[in-house]
Amino acid sequence: MPKLSIVIPTYNERENLPILLEKLEKALYNIDFEAIIVDDDSPDKTWELAEELARTKYPWLRVIRRIGEHGLASAVIRGF
């Protein structure tokens, strides 16, 4: 289990996601961490890109796609 878990709620953040994850990895390079993307079924398919990045580039990334659920607070809770 990682020492640090970061929950990142998203909605239509496809363009920003690669930049965020790259900066996160650089900032936490010596820390055992995981990041959990909780996406509210974004029309721009943020969740799809996140899943691809988790498979190909960021093994510390987990993705939760919420269908029919919306809201920042409930997304953060779902990430735990």
Mean pLDDT of the chain: 93
Token look-up 């987990």 returns 62
Please enumerate in sequence order all residues whose Cβ is within 8 A of that of 37, keeping only pairs 6 or more positions apart, or say none.
Answer: 8, 10, 17, 46, 47, 50, 61, 62, 63, 64
What pLDDT does residue 68 have? 83
What pLDDT does residue 79 have? 73
**The CATH number of the domain where 41 resides is what?**
3.90.550.10
Checking if the pLDDT of 67 tops 80, the result is yes
What pLDDT does residue 69 have? 77
Buried b (16+ CB within 10 A) or exposed e, 29-49: eeeebbbbbbbbebeeebbeb
Host domain of residue 26: 4-79
Distance CA 72, CA 49 (A): 20
Checking if the pLDDT of 78 tops 80, the result is no
Number of domains in the chain: 1
Hey, is 33 helix, strand or coil? strand
Average confidence (pLDDT) over 15-31: 97
Checking if the pLDDT of 39 tops 80, the result is yes
